[in-house]
């Protein structure tokens, strides 16, 4: 097991970090549950509400195991991932599911609106039938 400093020295190299991160996301997809909403979207979930009062919720269980398997320091890897994605991680399932896009898809399904591409102010109703 590498120390935190040795982990940083190893993974600070872009190609090594990218290989590690890609391998971890594939590993994570095999461990998490894939939820598909019929005909709309799909996402990966840990199956728990992200709430620290839930004693069964282990937000980084797979990351800890993967780091141990690869011989890297968990805390340093977590910091490097947060620097890479420029966000604080609440749960590892966020790494393989875009929750902002997921909220957008849920709204689109619920209200039948096309919110358009992110950053643009367009809303159009879906039309199932020709209005004429």
What are the extents of the domains in the chain?
4-97, 98-132
pLDDT confidence of 72, banded at 50, 70, 90? very high
Instruction: Report the C-alpha dihedral over residues 71, 74, 77, 82, rounded to 10 degrees.
Output: 160
pLDDT confidence of 131, banded at 50, 70, 90? very low
DSSP one-letter code for 95:
G
pLDDT attached to residue 108: 74
- pTM of the shown model: 0.75
pLDDT confidence of 36, banded at 50, 70, 90? confident
Of the candidates 39, 37, 40, 48, the one whose C-alpha atom is nearest the C-alpha of residue 93 is 48
pLDDT attached to residue 28: 96
Q: What does the DSSP assignment read for 9-53?
A: HHHTSHHHHHHHHHHHHHHHHHHSEEEEETTTEEEEE-SS-S-TT
Can you say whether the dihedral through the CA atoms of 65, 66, 70, 73 is positive or negative?
Answer: negative
Residue 43 phi, psi (nearest 5): -155, 160
108-121: b (≥16 Cβ within 10 Å) or e: eeeeeeeeeeeeee
Span 81-98, pLDDT tens digits:
999 999 999 999 999 987
Q: Is 123 exposed, middle or buried (0-12, 13-18, 19+ CB in 10 A)?
A: exposed
């Amino acid at each position: 097991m590498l120390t935190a400093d040795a982990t940083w020295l190893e993974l600070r190299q872009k190609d090594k970090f990218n290989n590690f991160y890609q391998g971890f996301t594939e590993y994570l997809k095999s461990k998490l549950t894939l939820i598909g909403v019929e005909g709309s979207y799909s996402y990966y979930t840990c199956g728990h509400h992200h709430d620290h009062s839930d004693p069964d919720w282990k937000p980084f269980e797979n990351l800890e195991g993967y780091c141990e398997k690869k011989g890297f320091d968990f805390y340093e890897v977590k910091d490097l991932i947060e620097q890479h994605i420029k966000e604080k991680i609440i749960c590892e399932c966020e790494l393989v599911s875009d929750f902002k896009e997921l909220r957008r898809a849920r709204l689109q399904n619920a209200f039948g609106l096309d919110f358009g591409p992110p950053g643009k102010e367009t809303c159009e109703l879906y039309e199932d039938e020709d209005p004429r």
